[in-house]
Structure 1
Amino acid sequence: MSDKEFQAVEKKIKVLHLIKSLGRGGAEKLIPETALVHNQNRFEFHCLYFYHQENNITDELEKAGIIVHLIPSGNLGLFFHVKKVRDFILSNEIDIIHAHLPWAGIMARSVGNTLSIPIVYTEHNTWERYNKFSYWGNRLSFKKQDVAIAVSNEVALSMRLNSIWDPYQRGGRMKLKVIQNGVNTDIFRRAGIQESIVETKQGTIEKKVTRSKCQVGSIEIDRTLRINLNIPDNAPVIGIVAVFRSQKRLWLWVDVALKILEQYPHTHFMLVGGGEWRERIEAQIKRSGKSANFHLVGVQKNVIPYLSLMDIYLSTSEFEGLPIAMLEAMSCEVPVVATSAGGIGEVIQQGVQGYLAEIGSWDKLSGYCCDLIQKPDLHDRMRLAARERVIEQFSVKRMVSELEQVYLDVIA
């Protein structure tokens, strides 16, 4: 092999994650979490974003080995920067654009009109939920990419239905692939849980699970959090990790919580996150007179201690792609009670890892939570089944393996 051929083999494939902003949503969090598992001897990752905001995750991307870049812009000015993005790609010798969400997808395809570069696009939600500009911009440019990835089967169906009058060209450029979201089960485990593989006297291999108090530095996570939040030791904790926006219908979440308190007044409720709906949710809780039972802990970089405090993960969403926070909770042995929005119904098996209700029947969720509170044996089975489900079907290792194959295919 010549020196030139050897260098060609050894050259890393440069992948550019293109996204509008780096807030703490599920789509954004997937970028560093997948990078930690990717083969970085083979791939080099960059991330270019446009809208800078507080509490973003740039530091998490950098810790994951991603080179982060910013071209400052708002929504309206985004497409005046097509030339800047094109020049950036050329100067950094990017091999693949991987765009996330409609604005970045439209930008990637605009750049791709003047560059011969593979474009991968991940769709994190159903098309019906986008505003008209995002919807039509996405639809009209959609086939100008190599691979469209859907994070759930429902998202993939939405793509197909919305392209029914503009069908994919057989043998044409774009391909559609479902790659469901995944979570790093080695990192997301309940505080105090250790797993190890042991060999028995009979020579068989078994998994050994050890439960103990988990120390982070000198802090005992569960006990310290309960004291700080003023949650009694024996109180059930129902929680969610979310961006406070209308999609999550957190006003209904609070209504469900208040219904549970009628039967189990010692229950506590924890909301991790922040956003535009926070003040309205706080006002709703204050009017209820039950503020002592609710804990809005804000945006947290490390959610594992909070997930480890939860007994039930409750979701009232109107629509979803495939929520990462829910998978992280399941990996931390938290059973789920949720509306069957988006990919949630593809993950939760009714009565196995939790309970599902139709989106319009959200009022059933309180009864399901009460059922888990009053039946500790059932709760124990479901929480173990929740983690097992993620390990078997929704691990980030599986997700990354499929992503890397997409990258190699479009390069080829």
Structure 2
Amino acid sequence: MKDQTDPSKGNATLLSFRQNIAWFAVRPKAVARAFAVAVARKLPPSARNLLGRVFAVMGRHPVHQLSSQARIVVWSRIDRFRPLLARQPAELSLSELIGRRLLKRLLKAPDGRYRRALARVDAQLKGRGVSHGKNSIAFKCSVMMMIGTLGPGGAERQLVVTAKGLRKSAKLKVCVACANLSSSTSRFFLPELESAGISTSVIGSEADDNVSLSVRAAIDTLPCELREISLYAKTLAAERPEIVHLWMDEVNVKGGIAAVLTGVPKIIISQRSLPPINFSLHRPYMREAYRWLARQPGVKMINNSGAGARAYEAWLGLQQGSIGVVHNGYAFDESELAHYQAGRIEYRQRVGIPTSALIVGTVMRLGEEKRPLLWLEIASLIRQAVPEVCFLVIGDGPLRFAMEARADQSDLAGSVFFAGNIKDPMTAIASMDMLLLTSRAEGLPNVLIEAQFLGVPVVATPAGGAPEAVNHGKSGWLLDSWDAESSSRQIVRLLLDKQWRETATRCGPEFAFARFGVQRAIDETLAVYSLNSR
């Protein structure tokens, strides 16, 4: 039977199809098979013929012939397709569905390699007598927290809040170790920890190396990209914590394996967002390393949102409920609330925004996952309806130059103010009339909670744990989609509804105090540790 599809549509499909696979310059046979299985049933006959030709070419390049550099090239080219994972299949075109299926299979392609590597670690543990929980005899500190940096991020801020809360209310000896503190940005929160008397160090910087030969032998069986685990093991062997509390995926994986090998009795793995497959920081070993850690005694996994926990469980193939939820905690103070609100006019004058203007603002990392260019498209449409509105952007990141270039165009010129990273964003948030977040992927967004505490109405896309952080209809609004036109219409309606904004200003602090107080978070964290408040 002849292909009955419209030739012009067929050509468009093939063109889009070719564009979707053109990035794949290296063609391992294993991926070819995954590709064929994923898409064969979804293609029209003309595209199936193309698939056959592609498969024939791809099959000539076995996966074991790929160099490390080639693997890096392939992995780096995946990143521009990751946003497809956060979208619903019904929203995707045929070529996007193909790309999404291919991406999912491709991301799982390295699993076998790391599964075998971790099986060798298991053999080393049994053969050399390394047993979880037996090496830590005399604890030097109660809790060691490990994270990548102390930069100006939400996870880093929560680590500081948690460390200070555990030290103050539970009287625990807490220390912090970071993978990198080399720049002023990476030390953003360091002064706050130091002022609270919490010692901070760089992972692997200890003068003495107390890692046992059996642990070193186990680490040496791992692929080279995981050998950095030895630095984590060095720090853990020196500090001998009763509990290690890990933050963020890279540290979770490497610190978690090191903690198992060095015998830390209690290992808390804290996931702060959706699974790493949604982000460019994802690494091929993460899935199998997480799965291995989930099987180890003494390991508990937590997430700061229910949506994030369920997403990790699905990604790792874990039973629902395997990952606990501890929502972020905030040290809210009513006297601080009055202080920040009193500084509203002064801050506007400082950045050059008219004191009478309506301000729609945001606090975010200017990276792809936050969709900052969509934020500006919505801003442009808002300004068409409300010409006097101004826009305030707090934060920095790789897309800042692109944002500034877009903001210089005629439809937004002179209305967008960029403040960069600031030490205390609360005064800046208090100066806003509305805070807008347009992320495609989120954990539990700190800024939404902080804005409501300050009485600033919030509007957010329904990404990850954002719905858990917004009192929808009362102190904020959850958008239905990431569509710029419908989003801007809803925001304009809220901006012009002065009565609703006044109600949101009253309801926001009540919601934030009730659901996200710091003591609640500390109590729940102690429960995860299997400790009581002291």
Q: Report the TM-score when normalising by structure 1.
A: 0.82
Instruction: Verify the 8 A CA contact 2:351 2:417 in the aligned structure 1.
Output: yes
Task: Report the equivalent of 1:30.
Answer: 158
Q: Is residue 42 from structure 1 mapped to residue 168 from structure 2 by the alignment?
A: no
**Distance between the aligned counterparts of 1:260 and 1:283, measured in 2?**
19
Partner of 1:319, secondary structure, is: coil
Task: Report the equivalent of 1:133.
Answer: 284
**Distance between the aligned counterparts of 1:354 and 1:188, measured in 2?**
23
Q: CA RMSD for the aligned pairs?
A: 2.6
Deviation at 1:33, TM superposition (A): 1.7
Describe the superposition over 1:183-236 as per-residue Cα deviations: whole angstroms up to 9, x where unpaired.
Answer: 22217954447xxxxxxxxxxxxxxxxxxx73xxxxxx3232222222122111
Deviation at 1:38, TM superposition (A): 2.5
Deviation at 1:152, TM superposition (A): 0.8
**Distance between the aligned counterparts of 1:192 and 1:86, measured in 2?**
45
**Distance between the aligned counterparts of 2:226 and 2:192, measured in 1?**
27
Match of 2:326 among 179, 184, 187: 179
**Distance between the aligned counterparts of 1:358 and 1:132, measured in 2?**
31
Q: Which aligned pairs between 1:55-74 and structure 2 lie closer than 5 A?
A: 55-56=185-186, 57-71=189-203
Task: Report the equivalent of 1:260.
Answer: 382
**Distance between the aligned counterparts of 2:156 and 2:285, measured in 1?**
18
Q: Which has the larger radius of gyration?
A: 2
Deviation at 1:14, TM superposition (A): 1.9
| Greater per-residue helix proportion | 2
Instruction: Verify the 8 A CA contact 2:291 2:316 in the aligned structure 1.
Output: no
The one-letter code sitting in structure 1 at the alignment partner of 2:177 is: L
Q: How many residues align?
A: 367
Q: Is residue 157 from structure 1 mapped to residue 286 from structure 2 by the alignment?
A: no
**Distance between the aligned counterparts of 1:88 and 1:374, measured in 2?**
55
Q: Which runs of 5+ in 1 are unaligned?
A: 1-10, 169-173, 194-212, 215-220
Task: Report the equivalent of 2:432.
Answer: 310
Deviation at 1:182, TM superposition (A): 2.2
**Distance between the aligned counterparts of 1:378 and 1:77, measured in 2?**
57
**Distance between the aligned counterparts of 2:513 and 2:371, measured in 1?**
29
Q: Which aligned pairs between 1:1-400 and structure 2 lie closer than 5 A?
A: 14-40=142-168, 42-52=171-181, 53-56=183-186, 57-71=189-203, 79-117=226-264, 118-127=266-275, 128-130=277-279, 131-133=282-284, 135-143=286-294, 144=296, 146-164=299-317, 176-186=323-333, 189-192=336-339, 214=342, 221-288=343-410, 290-400=412-522
Describe the superposition over 1:152-171 as per-residue Cα deviations: whole angstroms up to 9, x where unpaired.
Answer: 1111111221233x659xxx
The one-letter code sitting in structure 2 at the alignment partner of 1:129 is: N
Q: Which runs of 5+ in 2 are unaligned?
A: 1-138, 206-222
**Distance between the aligned counterparts of 1:302 and 1:188, measured in 2?**
16
| 1:23–1:192 distance in 2 versus 1, CA, 3 Å | closer
| Greater per-residue strand proportion | 1
Deviation at 1:368, TM superposition (A): 2.4
**Distance between the aligned counterparts of 2:357 and 2:489, measured in 1?**
18
**Distance between the aligned counterparts of 1:70 and 1:132, measured in 2?**
22
The one-letter code sitting in structure 2 at the alignment partner of 1:98 is: H
Q: Report the TM-score when normalising by structure 2.
A: 0.64
**Distance between the aligned counterparts of 2:180 and 2:304, measured in 1?**
24
Percent identity, aligned pairs only?
Answer: 23
Partner of 1:320, secondary structure, is: coil
Instruction: Verify the 8 A CA contact 2:177 2:200 in the aligned structure 1.
Output: yes
| 1:134–1:190 distance in 2 versus 1, CA, 3 Å | farther
| 1:262–1:134 distance in 2 versus 1, CA, 3 Å | farther
Describe the superposition over 1:72-104 as per-residue Cα deviations: whole angstroms up to 9, x where unpaired.
Answer: 79xx98743433332322322311111111111
Larger relative CO (CA 8 A, sep 6+): 1 or 2? 1
Tell me whether 27-36 or 361-370 shows the greater mean CA deviation. Answer: 361-370
Runs (4+) of structure 1 moved beyond 6 Å?
Answer: none
Task: Report the equivalent of 1:200.
Answer: none
Deviation at 1:175, TM superposition (A): 5.3
